[in-house]
């Protein structure tokens, strides 16, 4: 999916911390919520199409979606992860 060299240089555009690939379970849960119409990005816009993958910020608060093998590293497009995943 994402080349390791690219992953090594990518960082969160907001706080410049490293990002890591989201696991398949997290991506599946996000896509379930997108399909249900219950997920919005940081800009407050509802997400309408499933993501191919994601890059999770080091602190686990946000995921930057991957669409067509391209990471979307825009703060407004980040998906808040509060209440999503194993700790929810």
Contact between residue 74 and residue 13 where contact means Cβ atoms under 8 Å apart: yes
User: What is the tens place of the pLDDT at every residue in 16-54?
Assistant: 999 999 999 999 999 999 999 999 999 999 999 999 999
Determine the distance from the C-alpha atom of residue 54 to the mean position of all C-alpha atoms in its chain, rounded to a whole number: 4
Contact between residue 65 and residue 76 where contact means Cβ atoms under 8 Å apart: no
Does pTM top 0.85 for this prediction? yes
Element (H, E) at 57: strand 53-57
The domain spans of the chain are 4-80
Give the chain's radius of gyration (CA, Å): 12
Residue with tokens 């669409």: 67
Determine the distance from the C-alpha atom of residue 19 to the mean position of all C-alpha atoms in its chain, rounded to a whole number: 10
């Amino acid at each position: 999916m994402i080349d390791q060299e690219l992953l090594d240089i990518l960082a969160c555009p907001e706080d410049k911390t490293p990002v890591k690939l989201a696991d398949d379970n997290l991506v599946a849960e996000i896509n379930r919520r997108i399909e249900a119409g219950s997920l919005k990005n940081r800009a407050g816009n509802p997400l309408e199409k499933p993501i191919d993958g994601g890059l999770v910020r080091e602190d686990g608060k946000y995921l930057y979606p991957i669409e067509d093998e391209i990471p979307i590293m825009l703060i407004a497009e980040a998906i808040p992860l509060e209440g999503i995943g194993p700790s929810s």
